[in-house]
Structure 1
Amino acid sequence: MKKAAKMFAVFAVMGALAGCARTAPVDNVHTTISAGYTQAQVKNAILKAGAQRQWIMSEAGPNVIKARQQSRDHMAEVLINYSATGYAINYETSNNLLASGGKIHKNYNRWVRNLDKDIQVNLATSTL
């Protein structure tokens, strides 16, 4: 009986530690757009989504937007390449997000997924 209780305790601790993992693989988003939007509409949807999520957005070249998210002493920068047929959100750099070996703090992935979701919503609600 004691052996079973010890095993249960070991598995409970291992499960709790696994659930508390603060890092995950870096999410790079690649979204294809099939509804026939213009490049300007895609750009506007990206800029609007960034403003909604409080990303600092700036043009970094033709069809490229650099976006920065700052939360207290944590910072992440991504490059967003876009065209009329899709866009990609790619990790550029970060500060205090435990980035190492292709992994990063889970909050980064949440920020990027939320930005992607808002871009898609903005595209869906824009006029063609």
Structure 2
Amino acid sequence: MKIASLLSGIVCVVALAGCASKTAPVQNVDAAIAGQYTESQVKNAILSAGLARKWVMAPVAPGVITGHVERQGHSADIRINYTAARYTINYVNSQNLLAANGVIHRNYNRWVNNLNRDIQLKISAQNIQ
């Protein structure tokens, strides 16, 4: 009887831990750009990184790009503001990502972190060319 109770307790703890770890606080990015680049170079790096990550990127105003991504029935929208010296990636909206009260499915943060890393790589690659 004690073993059955112990096992059911462990199963409950594991189930609750699995549910709790699906969400995390929404991560927005505020990144400084090291080096001297033009606003056009930063824009091109953002668009190129987004395309490589399968984001639909659209310049909507000077210094502003919107991004949209869809993955397996989930979607997210972001807004990227940029200058020659820095850029920000901000959450706008999502579907099926458990977004509420400042938290979201952890996959969103992974998508944005991957996009941010690729933007940094695209910017720095312009020094090599």
TM-score of the superposed pair, with normalisation by structure 1: 0.87
> Partners of 2:77 and 2:34 in 1: how far apart?
27
Q: Which runs of 5+ in 1 are unaligned?
A: none
- Could you tell me the percent identity over the aligned residues? 47
2:46 alignment counterpart: 46
3-state secondary structure, aligned to 1:123: helix
3-state secondary structure, aligned to 1:127: helix
2:55 alignment counterpart: 55
2:16 alignment counterpart: 17
3-state secondary structure, aligned to 2:127: coil
Q: Which runs of 5+ in 2 are unaligned?
A: none
State the one-letter code of the partner of 1:119: I
Report the RMSD for the aligned CA atoms in angstroms.
2.1
> Partners of 1:125 and 1:107 in 2: how far apart?
27
CA-CA distance at 1:59 after TM superposition: 1.2
1:115 alignment counterpart: 115
CA-CA distance at 1:115 after TM superposition: 0.2
1:35 alignment counterpart: 35
TM-score of the superposed pair, with normalisation by structure 2: 0.86
1:64-83 equivalent positions in 2, closer than 5 A: 64-83=64-83
